[in-house]
Structure formats: structure tokens, C-alpha cells
Structure 1
Amino acid sequence: MEEQLPTTLNDKPKVLLVDDEESILNSLRRLLRGQPYEVLLATSGAQALEIMRQQSIDLVMSDARMPNMDGATLLAHIQQRYPDTIRIMLTGYADPSAIIKAINEGQIHRYISKPWHDEEMLLTLRQSLTYQHSERERLRLVQETWDQNEKLKLLNATLEKHVASRTAELQQTADMLDLAYEELKHSYVTGTEVFSLLANLRLPPAKQTNRQIIELVRVYCKLHGVDEGTSRDLTMAAALYNIGKLSWTDSMITAPADLLHHSDRERYRGYPKQSESLLMTLEPMKDAARLILHHQERWDGSGFPDRLRGEAIPFGSRLLKLAVDFIELQRGLILERQMNSDEALVYIRSYAGRLYDPELVEDFIQVCAAYLSDISLVDPSIKVLTTRELVAGMILARNLNADNGMLLLNAGKVLNGPLVEKLIAFEAMEGAKYSIFVKVPEDVAVLETS
């Protein structure tokens, strides 16, 4: 592993763009003009490695298909020599083997398809560099904690009066570490949701499912008091359950599963395993990947890939199957006829004990009723407001998405004055009308509108 020059927290992050097509590099450079990054360009893997040998690079985004050294190979070299550098792969075609190689060997942080959406590209770069900054800060705090412990050993014999104050400092440092780690985990969940929106670009709007499944799973977890770790794994599984379908043809990815030909049906039965394989090398995704692997198992043991039966199927997988089927039945991705929500629930109830956990079905149907009616009925402190009714201090209760599906703000965001003004301006620019679900703290008053 080669050493890189240190980068101070006050330096602009250095972003290296690698592509053998200069037109692509020029487009990316124009997109990043005005962003708080120092942008460097390379037209080959060898040139990129030479640049990294000479200076510290925070993030590398490389095209997948390049002569002499492809993107996956380049990112694998960078992972070995400069593991601290964020690695993103940019590709214009769906190639599972290239994706798997990039994930397994290059341990990429993100995967972006061409053509990209400018706002989503900028969001991905911003979140990736934020993740890197948080990780560096966490490591700095770990080192600081270790240093302080060493000082305590030396001071303990003669400086007993300092023990209380040092202990307080250590507790503060530990609290900061916990907070940083929680922020990292939250950023990972948000990252998976952003990635799911990118993956959904393969599908027409009427066939997209991930956002609704994420929201449905969150409502279930909230109503049933599911612990934070399980809720986080379920959310990530809902965001990426169908990532294994990205290599399918357009006709197959939009076809009802019930109408697939024999060869396509066998490929369909392999998508949970394909999804799990793509995610297993990412440590924070391992539990979510296991839920994805078994979300097509059936209560009577006739499912796939392992024909698990009854409670041998992980609880999260049983819940995920209910959520996936409920939404996909309405999108025409399971049967040729698209059902409405009531028909989908009748279908699910009729297969309780065969496809679905019979005890879980009724709970799920009650959650669907709350999900379909209004989240504000579940929690009286949650209001549905327009942008002009928003007040600083309110907390976003649901992800806010633009009409085109782009994630604008994630749930849990505390609103402030400038952010509210930006939402109002963006809504006017898009000609949209947002209904925003917010949690209203007791000390925040809702504006009365005439």
C-alpha cells in the first residue's frame, strides 16, 4: 500500500475523473464547475495512477470500459494502494461481471449508470465525500482517545485531581464517536435509497417500486416498534431488493413474472441470489443482503432459492416479500393484470399459509391501511403541510421526492429557514405542488394559512 500526502480538513476535496472519451470528461468538468472541488482529469488508468502517485486524491470516478486497463482493474489497484480514496464506477452498460469485479476487488463506494442525471450525480459525489470526511473524523477521534488514555496512565500516579476532568473528556469523546458512527450508518441507508433511485431509471415510472416499498416497510417498523438495527436493514433491503435485475433486458424487467418463458423464469428465480452476491462484500449491507436472498421464499416451502419453510425464513424476508408483492401486484410485475390496492390485499390474504406467514398477514394488512390512508393518522404529531406552511425546527417524517423521483431530502432532516426558502423556490421552478410530512415538536407552532 502506497502512502498519500496528507489532506487537511480545510483543503478542497480533490476529485479525479477517468475516462478515455474526452467528451465525457469535458461534460463532467462542466457539471462540476462551481462545485467546491479541485477537479483533475485522466484519459487512462496508467495516467490516473501516476497522478495519484504525485498527490493525494479524495475521490476517483472511473469509466468501466477503457482500453489497456478497465475501470474495475484501476479501482482494484487504487483500493490496494490508496484504500482511503472513495471509488466510484461510471458505466454506460449493464455488465454484472464488471459490477461484481468492481465491488469484490475495487470495493467501490457507488455505481452510476450513463447517461447520468446531473442532480443525482452531484448528490452522489457530495454524499460520498461527506461519508469520507465522517470516517476520517471518526479515525481521528479514535486516535485522540487512544492518546488520551496513554496520558492518563502517566498522570494517574501523581495527578489524581485531573482524573475526574479527564474522565469527563473521555466520555465526551466517546459520545462524539457514537454520534459519528450513527451518522455513518444513517448515511449508508440514505446512500442505498439514492442508489435505488438510480437503478429505477431502468424502469418506466409506472413500473418503479422501490420508493413505495421503502415507505411501507418504514411504516410497519414504526407501528410495531421494530428496533433501529432491524429497521435499518429492512430499509436497505427494500431499497436494493431488485438490484440483481439490472442486467436483464428491458422487455424482461417490465414483464409480469407469471408470463415469463421457461428460460427467463429460471433467470428470474436467480435474481435474489444475484442481488445478495452484489451486496455481501459491503460490511454494513450483510444483514440486509441476507433478507434480500430469502425474500422470495414461501411459507409452504415452494419458494426460492433455498425452499425454506415457515419460521426458517428470516422474519425480515417474510415482511419484505409481503411489501414487495403488495406493490408489484399493483405495478403488473407479478400477474398480467394490474390490481388496485384492495385487490392486492385480498390476493395476499387468500394466499396466507401458502405464500405468506399467516400470522404476519393480518398485521401487514392493518399497516397497509394506515400507509394508504395517511401517515398523520398513525402519529398525531405528524402533519401534512405545503411548503409555505413549513417552519424552522420541523422534522421531515417522510423522504421528500421530486415528481421525477429524485430524492430531495431524507426523513429525519431538521428544517431551517434557508432550506424552507429553497424548497419554495424549487417547487415554483418545477411547477409542482408538494405535500410534505413533518413531525412538529411541541415548541414549534404551525402557521395558519388563509
Structure 2
Amino acid sequence: MDEQLATTSAYRPTVLLVDDEESILNSLRRLLRAQPYDVVLAGSGAQALDIMAAQPIDLIISDARMPVMDGATLLAEAHRLYPNTSRILLTGYADLALIIKAINEGQIHRYVSKPWNDEDMLLTVRQSLAHQYSERERLRLEQLTREQNDQLKALNATLEKRVESRTGELQQTADMLDLAYDELKHSYVTSTEVFSLLANLRLPKEKQTNRALIELIRVYCRDRAIDESSVRDLSMAAALYNVGKLSWTDAMMMAPSDLLHSTERELYRAYPTQSESLLMTLEPMKDAARIIRHHQERWDGNGHPDHLKGEAIPFGSRLLKLAVDFIELQRGLILERHMNSDEALLYIRKYAGRLYDPDMVEDFVQACAAFLSDVTLGDPNVKVLTTRELADGMVLARNLNADNGMLLLNAGKVLTLPLVDKLIAFEAMEGAKYSVFIKEPDEVALPS
């Protein structure tokens, strides 16, 4: 995969479906229609090989039982000719010999029994394409390393002939190695972000969190001059903090965590360690995996999985929790009600010293104000009052919404005493407690 494709989510993998039964092909095509893939169909092994010779194929899914050329033979030939293409065997028969042949000769990645479960099939396809992408990226980096090693060998062969410029040549070599290593590290960050975009396809747009998390954490780190290595680990942690949720049902993934019960709550508590275990085998991901493991710890020690307390929680995990909760509160993934950005920050301020590091909260509020234009809480001229603290002539700094989302008053509204009384009465009727953002007037210079 070239560099452009490796750094953008616009790339559409091509999936080849092979079966001699048209109904099976149509079923698979309908299943994959809404996915970000290009789908190609073949009715026989020979036709599939012709298609693979004419265009690149990222994943081939073949039926096991086909006339002339069975699926195992086709996948073995595909492995011989196109080893970088992922391979899945689809079988409706308990034919152990055929499956063993496909594994040994075709080196298939998975086999799926018919009839298949649609969600399991979609997950299998996503995992196979993700594996294929990672493998291609590894091969690209290995090729890059080999080319740079060849350049270094050529350079070393001529160094003795250029004694006068030896120091300059050595510096050039060191710079080349630094660039290669920087590209390798950057590639891992890019790969995690691309994978997080694929994982997010399970959620509707309004529930997706990872992209906003990455950008918010980078704003926080930029304004506080945090070192590049830590920013890289935090970015990867933000991209993959919820990868352990991929085994959940869609309904559970979209439900507020506060409403989960019994078995679901146990799954929720386990997702940080599940995410960590999926990433620990990748050496460059180990620090990011540790950040993810502890991002649901609480400052007072009542979090999970290890009940760490205070500064025993890694700094990156404390920051990731602030960012995750800020974004998820607005997405309705923690409480049933969707908060606006200022309400989410009030919630974080309220629980400073219990859930969050109290020394980080105000810096985080300022980062959010720099990240989002609708955050008013960082403005020193904005105060948050209860309805009973409101007075005649005060001006709203932002829209006031009821708990059900209904707009009550627009930002910029000048309050009157009758209007304040109505708000208090409506609040009591709803059993709610509103936080009202008031903009204090700028000082007016008096004439001398």
C-alpha cells in the first residue's frame, strides 16, 4: 500500500466473493453493500483467478465446494500468486480434510460456516482487512529499512576515500537513521488512527469519539509543551482506548454506562484491560496500552481495574480520563442526557478530587476552551448561577436547555424578574436543577 493510501481513510479495500451459487453471492453482496468496500463477484475459481490477475484484491472469500476447482485449491493458488491477499474459506460442510487443505496450502486467515451470522461475518471481514493492512505496512517498512541499509553499505564503502569529509558523512548517516525511525513511529500513530476510524463504523456519527479525543489531547499537550514521545503515546491511546468494546453488541456500545446492569457492567469494567491485552504484543504500543489500562481509574482509588489512587495513576491515564469523560458526556455515553460542552466541564469540576486529578482540571478547561469555540467556562467574565441566584438585567452567555433538550432561552437574552420567576417555577415542575451561564458586562471606563 503506497504512502498516500496508508495515511488516509479514503482508501476502499476490494473484496472478491467466489461461489458457484448465485444466491450466496447475492446474500454476501447485500451484507457488504453498506460497508466501505468495493465488492467483486466470481462464479468459479478460474474466473476468480482472472479477476485477481486484472486488478488488486485485498480480501478473497471463497466457498469450499465448487465444481472443477474447489475453494481450498483456489485459495492455495491465490496464496502462491498473491500472498498479500487475505483469504477466508466459506463452508457449509463438516469436511475436515478440505479445511485442513485450505489451512496448510492456502494458509487461510479464517474459515466461516454456512449459514453465517451477519455480525460475525462483518467483524471477520473487518479483522481480516485490518490484519492485511498491518501486514502490508510492515512489509513496506521492511523494504524501506532494506533500502536504507543498502544506502548505508554504499556509503561505508566510500567513506575511507573521503577522509576529509568523514565527520559530515557520519552526521548525514545519523540524520538518515533518525528520519527512518521517525517515519516508523509516525506510521504507527497513523495506523492506529486509521484502525480507529474502521472501528468507529459500528457507531453512528453522533456517538463516535476517537477523532475528537485525539485532537483535544493534542491541543492540551501543545499548550503545555509536553514532549513528542508522550504526545505520540497519548494519541495512540486516544485512537484505540475503546478497542476492547468491539466484542460488545451494538446496543451496549451505544448505551450510557450509567444505565448498564449486572453482566453488562462487568463487561464495561473489563474493557480497559481487554483493550490493553489486544495491544501489548506490539512493542511501540506498550506505553499507550498502559495508559489505556488505567484510564478508568479514579483519583479517590475507587476506579478500575487496579484501584490506583492519586498520583499512582499514570499522568497519561489521568489526562485520557478527563478527555474521554468530556467527550462521552456530550455523546450520551456516560449519562442518558446529552450534555453541552460547558455542562460537561461543570461535571468534571464537580468531581475534581474524586474522579479527576484536581491539579489538572483547570488546565483541561482552558484546553477545551481553545479546542471548542462554544466553551464559555474558560472566560473569566462568565459565571455559572442557579436560577435563584439570577437577577434582573443579567445576560445569558449561552443557550439554556431543559433536561429533555428543549431550548428554553437563547444566548444573549436579557433576564427580567418575571422571566426568572417562570424559570424557577418550570425548574420545580420538572424536578430539575439548571446551571445558567451568565455573561458579566465588561467594565466601562468612567470619564475623568
- Distance between the aligned counterparts of 1:326 and 1:40, measured in 2? 38
Cα distance change of structure 1 residues 283 and 126 upon mapping to structure 2, 3 Å threshold = closer
Is the alpha carbon distance of 1:309 and 1:337 closer, same or farther for their aligned partners in structure 2, counting shifts above 3 Å? same
Root-mean-square deviation (Å):
4.3
Q: Report whether the alignment pairs 1:296 with 2:322.
A: no
**Matched residue of 1:112: which SS?**
helix
Residue 142 of structure 2 corresponds to residue 135 of structure 1: yes
Match of 2:77 in 1: 51
Residues 221 and 55 of structure 1, relative CA distance in 2, 3 Å threshold:
same
Residue 46 of structure 1: CA displacement? 4.7
Write the deviation string for residues 87-118 of structure 1: whole angstroms up to 9, x where unpaired.
Answer: 9999964599x98xxxxxxxxxxx7269xxxx
Q: 1:253 to 1:352 in 2, by over 3 A?
A: same
Q: CA deviation at 1:55?
A: 4.8
Contact 1:18 / 1:41 at 8 angstroms: preserved in 2? Answer: yes
Name 2:85's counterpart in structure 1: 60
Rg: which structure is higher? 2
Shift of 1:280: 1.1
SS of the aligned residue for 2:85 comes to strand
Quick one: structure 1 residues 51 and 203, their matched pair in 2 at CA, closer, same or farther if it must change by over 3 Å? same
| CA distance in 1 between partners of 2:278 and 2:144 (Å) | 28
- Residues 246 and 221 (structure 1 numbering): CA distance in 2 closer, same or farther, change over 3 Å? same
Post-superposition CA distance 1:281-314 (Å, at most 9, x none): 1222111111111100001110000101111111
- 1:256 maps to 256
Q: Distance in 2 between matches of 1:250 and 1:142?
A: 47
Where 1:344 maps in the other structure, the secondary structure is helix
**1:207 alignment partner AA:** K
Residue pair 2:242, 2:275 contacting (<8 A) in 1 also:
yes
Shift of 1:167: 5.3
Corresponding residue for residue 334 of structure 1: 334
Q: Cα–Cα, structure 1 residues 282 and 65, in superposed 2: closer, same or farther, change >3 Å?
A: farther
User: What's the counterpart of residue 378 of structure 2?
Assistant: none
Structure 1 counterpart of 2:373: 373
Q: Which runs of 5+ in 1 are unaligned?
A: 1-14, 80-86, 100-110, 115-120, 376-450
- Say if 1:77 and 1:125 are closer, same or farther in 2 by CA, change over 3 A: closer
Q: CA deviation at 1:334?
A: 0.7
Question: Which residue matches 2:307?
Answer: 307
* Residues 15, 57 of structure 2: 8 Å contact kept: no
For normalisation by structure 1, the TM-score amounts to 0.61
Per-residue deviation, residues 345-397 of structure 1 (Å, max 9, x unmatched): 0110111111000101111111111111299xxxxxxxxxxxxxxxxxxxxxx
SS of the residue 2:369 aligns to:
helix
Is 1:112 the equivalent of 2:126? yes
Whether the 8 Å CA contact 1:113–1:198 is kept in 2: the answer is no
Correspondence list, 1:34-113, <5 A: 37=56, 43=62, 46-47=72-73, 50-51=76-77, 54-55=80-81, 57=83, 59-63=84-88, 93-94=119-120, 112=126
Identity %: 55
* Aligned match of 1:145: 152
- Give 1:133 deviation, angstroms: 2.6
Deviation at 1:132, TM superposition (A): 3.2
Whole-angstrom distance in 2 between the partners of 1:221 and 1:327: 17
Distance 1:147 1:78 in 2: 38
Query: Where does 1:78-227 land on structure 2 (aligned, <5 Å)?
Result: 93-94=119-120, 112=126, 129=136, 132-146=139-153, 148-149=155-156, 151=157, 161-165=161-165, 168-227=168-227
Distance in 1 (alpha carbons) for counterparts of 2:283 and 2:331: 32
After superposition, the Cα gap between the structure-2 partners of 1:61 and 1:242, relative to the gap in structure 1 and judged at 3 Å, is same
User: Structure 1 pair 302/178, CA: closer, same or farther in 2 (3 Å)?
Assistant: same
Deviation at 1:335, TM superposition (A): 1.0
| Alpha-carbon distance change, 350 to 40 in structure 1, aligned in 2, over 3 angstroms | closer
CA contact (8 A) 1:203 1:254 kept: yes
Check whether the contact 2:221–2:231 (CA below 8 A) recurs between aligned residues.
Answer: yes
Aligned to 2:236: 236
CA distance in 2, matches of 1:232, 1:66: 43
Residues 176 and 322 of structure 1: CA distance in aligned 2, closer, same or farther (over 3 Å): same
Counterpart-to-counterpart distance in 1, 2:170 and 2:314: 39
Q: How far does residue 144 in structure 1 lie from its aligned partner after superposition?
A: 4.2
Structure 1 SS opposite 2:86 = strand
Distance, in Å, in 2 between the alignment partners of 1:249 and 1:306 is: 26
Distance 1:183 1:78, change over 3 A: farther
Equivalents in 2 of 1:76, 1:262: separation in Å? 46
- Verify the 8 A CA contact 1:141 1:173 in the aligned structure 2: no
Change (3 A) 1:243 1:174: same
2:355 maps to amino acid: L
Distance in 1 between residues matched to 2:183 and 2:249, nearest whole Å: 37
1:60–1:169 Cα change, 3 Å: farther
Runs of at least 5 residues in structure 2 that lack an aligned partner in the other structure? 1-12, 33-37, 42-50, 65-70, 376-448
> Structure 1 residues 163, 38: closer, same or farther in 2, change over 3 A?
farther
Aligned residues: 326
